[in-house]
Structure 1
Amino acid sequence: MSAYTDTAAVPGAPVPVLSYSPVVLSVPGRPVDLHVRVSAPATGTELPVILLSHGHGGSNHLSSLHGYAPLADFWAAHGFVVLQPTHLSSRTLSDALAGAPGGPFFWRSRAEDMTHILDRLDVIEAAVPQLAGRIDHGKAAVAGHSLGGFTAGLLLGARVTDPDSGEEVDLAEPRIKAGVLLAAPGRGGDVLNGPMAKAIPFFKVIDFSTMTTPTLVVAGDKDDSRHFTDMGPDWHMDPYTLAPGPKTLLTLFDAEHGLGGIAGYDVAETTDENPERVAAVGRLTAAYLRTRFHPGDDAWPTTRDALTTGAKPWGRVASK
């Protein structure tokens, strides 16, 4: 039975979650092995995959497979297999990789991690107890927060001109059928005039015009990233504004960069802590992906209307 025909996929009816880590993948040329956390519902088959890319973050462990539990737990409880790599940019690896080529942000390697994971889905499935035979290898999505949103954007088709070589880099992953960008960075060029702009030159050369994969862009209307730009919260809406359709924009009311605290439970650096907002983000993103993978399913319009209309809407939605 497909997960989408049982309670595993019904918003509000979660099932127990199995979590296993680390699954260790050896990748030729990578300075350390790729460690992945796997979270999956205890029941259901034909389960779609969400690749979740962590942000750079200020905390020691959120920028690794140990972060983003509020989203990973929710998605897994509602019918998805969530795969969380520890990218080379993680603070958990900063001592071991000090001075390594591509550091400290490893923008290219981060996207390549996801391709390696898709290449080894059968290995991951076999390594995790009770998961074998339950993944639908043809249904993969990518999600990412902050710098992870930049990573996800590359996999969805956005391109970057390598600031060192001048080469246009295409890291699009055709096996990924949908995406969710959470507080992702926006356009480059002259709008990147904040004090951190010089530290991240690859932000200056992003091109969203080639990002054609269906994507839900989630942005907070109070996410004012002055360290990068004085453009205001609209900057984080650029992956919607500047990319071709089909795209959907979810603007969350009163949300800052943490979107209520998606990076972890009780995270001290969350400036807009709101567990209800985090729950709304989980429900909306899960519903969006569910309907993307099953176009006849009404999860997205039903959840969208329930959470963005009425007396207490969490945000507003636009589509193109």
Structure 2
Amino acid sequence: MSTPFTETAGLPVNAAQPVVTYSPVTFNVPGRPAPLEIKVSAPVGGENLPVILFSHGHGASNFLASLNGYGPLANFWAAHGFIVLQPSHLDFPGLGLRDDVSAGAPLFWRARVEDMHFILDHLEDIESTVPGLGGRMDRTKIAAVGHSMGGHTVGMLSGMTVTDPRDGTVFDLRDERITASVVMAGPGAGEDLAAPASERFPELGGTTFSQMTEQALVVVGENDYNPVFSERKTWRADAYWRSPGQNKTLLTLFEAEHILGGVSGYDAAETTDENPERVAALRALIWAYLRSAFDPSDPAWTDACAALAAQPTPWGRVEVR
């Protein structure tokens, strides 16, 4: 007998609203080889809404690595009170730039962060462009959330540094307008990057977390291990273990692999561990974390962790340092 999917895997969240989506909001950015396109999702009601800047992964699929991906997350967060902004970074395959080394290919690691800076500089323009959005955005409550290479982008916004392999320049591109961050399955420390990945993605070899001082939730899959990237099984958790402590939280999802149950899209072929209930738990936990990160008096995160621990078969475990 089949069982219906749930929205939150039994974890407490507020009531959902209908969602309005507007796409694309387009900016012609000087020096960028393609216009910056952004998808905006928001609940139909509410004022002083917090904002999520979402950074997609690099991925091999045609459209999930763009503003068109990650619907299971973006739709949920918008329905439960966030304005979600999803840019297409330059590694979106549809732009045809993944082989253009002069533009920053293949990963466009620096351009990705610059996209987010640009969006933060133009929130007022986004508000005025999207019908019904004007005056509803709380620009003091902005989170950056990203998956895989998007996690690398979010890490940089939170103080993770990258040494450019071409000339040794150290880039610290943090943005203090970001008040909370969520790194999902992001790359780990460059010193433990395996040879195959180092040859293909040398930029990842310069990743360091010693200056990542901002508060962050780091999400990893228990079975997200690929020796092509690192021989160390805890590599994807480095944003937690190797950054300064006291404001870092680690969520380990049991039995999850790199796509964490299917975060990148509905019924995505790239998902090797498809589980809609795991995705439901993850998005509810991130929602709760951000609510309490923005407002420490909000019990959402405490309540979610208690509910997670009380489940007969919890979806994961939470650690704090």
On whether the aligned pair clears a TM of 0.5, the verdict is yes
2:160 paired residue number: 158
Q: Tell me how far apart the structure 2 counterparts of residues 56 and 118 of structure 1 sit (CA, whole Å).
A: 22
After TM superposition, give the deviation of residue 228 of structure 1 in Å: 0.7
User: Is 1:195 aligned to 2:196, yes or no?
Assistant: yes
Secondary structure of the 1:313 match is coil
Q: Tell me how far apart the structure 2 counterparts of residues 296 and 80 of structure 1 sit (CA, whole Å).
A: 18
Secondary structure of the 2:304 match is helix
Q: Which one is further off, 223-232 or 34-43?
A: 223-232
* Paired residues for 1:277-296 under 5 Å: 277-296=278-297
After TM superposition, give the deviation of residue 95 of structure 1 in Å: 5.1
After TM superposition, give the deviation of residue 203 of structure 1 in Å: 1.2
Moved over 6 A (4+): none
User: Is 1:138 aligned to 2:140, yes or no?
Assistant: yes
Q: Tell me how far apart the structure 2 counterparts of residues 23 and 259 of structure 1 sit (CA, whole Å).
A: 29
2:150 paired residue number: 148
Secondary structure of the 2:219 match is strand
Q: Tell me how far apart the structure 2 counterparts of residues 310 and 275 of structure 1 sit (CA, whole Å).
A: 17
Of the three residues 8, 24, 37, the one matched with 1:35 is: 37
Q: Tell me how far apart the structure 1 counterparts of residues 92 and 309 of structure 2 sit (CA, whole Å).
A: 34
2:244 paired residue number: 244
Q: Tell me how far apart the structure 1 counterparts of residues 114 and 232 of structure 2 sit (CA, whole Å).
A: 30
1:46 paired residue number: 48
User: Is 1:70 aligned to 2:72, yes or no?
Assistant: yes
1:82 paired residue number: 84
Q: How many residues align?
A: 309
Of the three residues 10, 14, 17, the one matched with 2:16 is: 14
Distance change in 2, residues 1:77/1:19 (3 Å) = same
1:254 paired residue number: 255
1:116 paired residue number: 118
After TM superposition, give the deviation of residue 13 of structure 1 in Å: 1.6
1:126-177: CA deviations, max 9, x gaps?
Answer: 1111111000011111011000000110001101111111111111001000
User: Is 1:168 aligned to 2:167, yes or no?
Assistant: no
Secondary structure of the 1:142 match is strand
1:206 paired residue number: 207
- Alignment RMSD (CA, Å): 1.3
Q: Tell me how far apart the structure 1 counterparts of residues 266 and 308 of structure 2 sit (CA, whole Å).
A: 22
Q: Tell me how far apart the structure 2 counterparts of residues 255 and 217 of structure 1 sit (CA, whole Å).
A: 14
Secondary structure of the 1:176 match is coil
Q: Tell me how far apart the structure 1 counterparts of residues 97 and 205 of structure 2 sit (CA, whole Å).
A: 27
After TM superposition, give the deviation of residue 103 of structure 1 in Å: 1.2
Secondary structure of the 2:146 match is strand
Please tell me the residue identity of whatever aligns with 1:199: R
Secondary structure of the 1:210 match is coil
Whether the 8 Å CA contact 1:194–1:230 is kept in 2: the answer is: no
1:170-229: CA deviations, max 9, x gaps?
Answer: 11001000100011111111x212422211112111111111111000001100022111
1:4 paired residue number: none
After TM superposition, give the deviation of residue 94 of structure 1 in Å: 2.0
Whether the 8 Å CA contact 2:291–2:298 is kept in 1: the answer is: yes
Gapped regions of structure 2 (runs ≥ 5): 1-11
1:5 paired residue number: none
* Paired residues for 1:224-243 under 5 Å: 224-232=225-233, 234-243=234-243
Secondary structure of the 1:312 match is coil
Whether the 8 Å CA contact 2:91–2:97 is kept in 1: the answer is: no
1:17-68: CA deviations, max 9, x gaps?
Answer: 1110000012111111100000011111101110000001111000000000
Gapped regions of structure 1 (runs ≥ 5): 1-9
Q: Tell me how far apart the structure 2 counterparts of residues 27 and 251 of structure 1 sit (CA, whole Å).
A: 38
After TM superposition, give the deviation of residue 98 of structure 1 in Å: 3.6
1:125 paired residue number: 127
Please tell me the residue identity of whatever aligns with 1:267: A
After TM superposition, give the deviation of residue 12 of structure 1 in Å: 5.0
Whether the 8 Å CA contact 1:94–1:104 is kept in 2: the answer is: no
Whether the 8 Å CA contact 1:182–1:219 is kept in 2: the answer is: yes
Q: Which one is further off, 154-163 or 90-99?
A: 90-99
* Paired residues for 1:181-192 under 5 Å: 181-189=183-191, 191-192=192-193
Q: Which one is further off, 100-109 or 46-55?
A: 100-109
Secondary structure of the 1:64 match is coil
Q: Tell me how far apart the structure 2 counterparts of residues 311 and 48 of structure 1 sit (CA, whole Å).
A: 33
Q: Tell me how far apart the structure 1 counterparts of residues 190 and 168 of structure 2 sit (CA, whole Å).
A: 15
